[in-house]
């Protein structure tokens, strides 16, 4: 996700470039993507640098929060970030990073690397409460059985969770004898 913006920085303020994005699913090692990253990127020349507007979709695999089975869900990212030069395009003089202002930096060859922004947005937007299906029965809190595959002994023997623990333990010891 590398774009050279040297020419765009020489274009008039307000000039734009639009790109189609297509990156393989393994682009980011810490994001469990299972489909390519596809989308659009619009770059606009601002007074102080480049405004990047991105819209990207992929599919991520996360664990069902009830039964922990893998679930694949679409992940849509939409963000606007500013990138400022580290070297002045005309004079070649270094541009100091401004304290207290949030922006990404172009490298000394005026390349814009969108990867880190995509990683940050993907990471913070990973589904936290995924369900494999709306009525997922989850795991038994006592014995850990996947209740989507059928009831466990603890539930059959008692609805009181304290007794159910006993039921589970007794069941275990009976089976192991
Ligand atoms: Zn589930
Ligand atoms: Zn159980």
Query: CA–CA separation, 46 vs 136, rounded Å?
Result: 49
Domain that holds residue 166: 147-176
For residue 7, pLDDT beyond 70: yes
Instruction: Determine the distance separating the centroid of ligand 2 and the alpha carbon of 148, expressed in angstroms.
Output: 12
Structural domain total, the chain: 2
Ligand (nearest to CA of 143):
2
Hey, which residues does 47 pair with through a beta bridge?
Answer: none
Instruction: Determine the distance separating the centroid of ligand 1 and the alpha carbon of 65, expressed in angstroms.
Output: 7
pLDDT at 177: 43
Average pLDDT over residues 67-80: 97
pLDDT at 34: 97
Element holding 167 (H helix, E strand): helix 161-176
Q: In the sheet that 37-45 helps form, which strands lie side by side, from edge to edge?
A: 16-23, 37-45, 50-63, 70-84, 104-105
- Could you tell me if residue 104 is inside a domain? yes
pLDDT at 176: 46
**Do residues 42 and 86 both lie within one domain?**
yes
Instruction: Determine the distance separating the centroid of ligand 2 and the alpha carbon of 165, expressed in angstroms.
Output: 8
**Do residues 107 and 41 both lie within one domain?**
yes
* Strand extents, DSSP E, the chain: 2-4, 16-23, 37-45, 50-63, 70-84, 104-105, 111-113
Instruction: Determine the distance separating the centroid of ligand 1 and the alpha carbon of 4, expressed in angstroms.
Output: 44
- Could you tell me if residue 38 is inside a domain? yes
Whole-angstrom Cα Rg for the chain = 26
Average pLDDT over residues 2-6: 96
- Strands 16-23 and 37-45, bridge-based pairing: antiparallel
**Do residues 64 and 97 both lie within one domain?**
yes
For residue 66, pLDDT beyond 70: yes
Query: CA–CA separation, 125 vs 32, rounded Å?
Result: 12
**Do residues 9 and 94 both lie within one domain?**
yes
DSSP helix/strand/coil, 43 = strand
Give residue 46's pLDDT band: very low, low, confident or very high (50, 70, 90): very high
Least confident interval from 9-13, 104-108, 137-141, 153-157: 153-157
Contact 28, 118 (CB under 8 A): yes
pLDDT at 166: 55
Query: CA–CA separation, 176 vs 65, rounded Å?
Result: 31
Average pLDDT over residues 148-177: 62
- Would you say how long the chain is, in residues? 177
Ligand (nearest to CA of 62):
1
Ligand (nearest to CA of 129):
1
Instruction: Determine the distance separating the centroid of ligand 2 and the alpha carbon of 92, expressed in angstroms.
Output: 68
Q: What percent of the chain has pLDDT over 90?
A: 80
Least confident interval from 5-19, 46-60, 157-171: 157-171
Average pLDDT over residues 148-157: 81
Query: CA–CA separation, 133 vs 146, rounded Å?
Result: 14
Query: CA–CA separation, 8 vs 20, rounded Å?
Result: 17
- Could you tell me if residue 142 is inside a domain? no
pLDDT at 98: 81
What sign has the CA pseudo-torsion 88, 91, 93, 95?
negative
Instruction: Determine the distance separating the centroid of ligand 1 and the alpha carbon of 144, expressed in angstroms.
Output: 13
> What protein residues have CB closer than 5 angstroms to ion ligand 1?
64, 66-67, 132, 136
Instruction: Determine the distance separating the centroid of ligand 2 and the alpha carbon of 147, expressed in angstroms.
Output: 8
Contact 63, 46 (CB under 8 A): no
**Do residues 172 and 108 both lie within one domain?**
no
**Do residues 152 and 74 both lie within one domain?**
no
pTM for this prediction = 0.80
Closest CA to 20 of 3, 45, 33: 3
- Could you tell me if residue 131 is inside a domain? no
- Could you tell me if residue 37 is inside a domain? yes
pLDDT digit string (tens) for 83-128?
Answer: 999 999 989 999 988 888 899 999 999 999 999 999 999 999 999 9
- Could you tell me if residue 140 is inside a domain? no
């Amino acid at each position: 996700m590398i774009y050279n913006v040297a020419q765009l920085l020489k274009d008039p303020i307000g000039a734009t470039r639009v790109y189609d994005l297509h990156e393989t699913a393994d682009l980011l090692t810490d994001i469990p993507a299972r489909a390519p990253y596809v989308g659009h990127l619009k770059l606009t020349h601002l007074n102080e640098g480049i405004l990047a507007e991105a819209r990207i979709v992929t599919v991520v695999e996360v664990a069902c929060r009830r039964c922990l089975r893998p679930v694949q869900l679409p992940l849509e990212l939409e963000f606007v970030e500013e990138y400022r030069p580290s070297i002045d395009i005309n004079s070649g003089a270094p541009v100091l990073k401004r304290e207290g202002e949030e922006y990404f930096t172009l490298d000394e060859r005026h390349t814009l690397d969108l990867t880190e922004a995509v990683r940050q947005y993907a990471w913070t937007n990973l589904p936290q409460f995924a369900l494999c299906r709306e009525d997922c029965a989850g795991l038994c809190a006592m014995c850990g059985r996947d209740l989507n595959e059928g009831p466990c002994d603890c539930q059959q023997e008692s609805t009181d969770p304290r007794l159910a623990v006993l039921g589970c333990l007794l069941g275990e010891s009976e089976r192991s004898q």
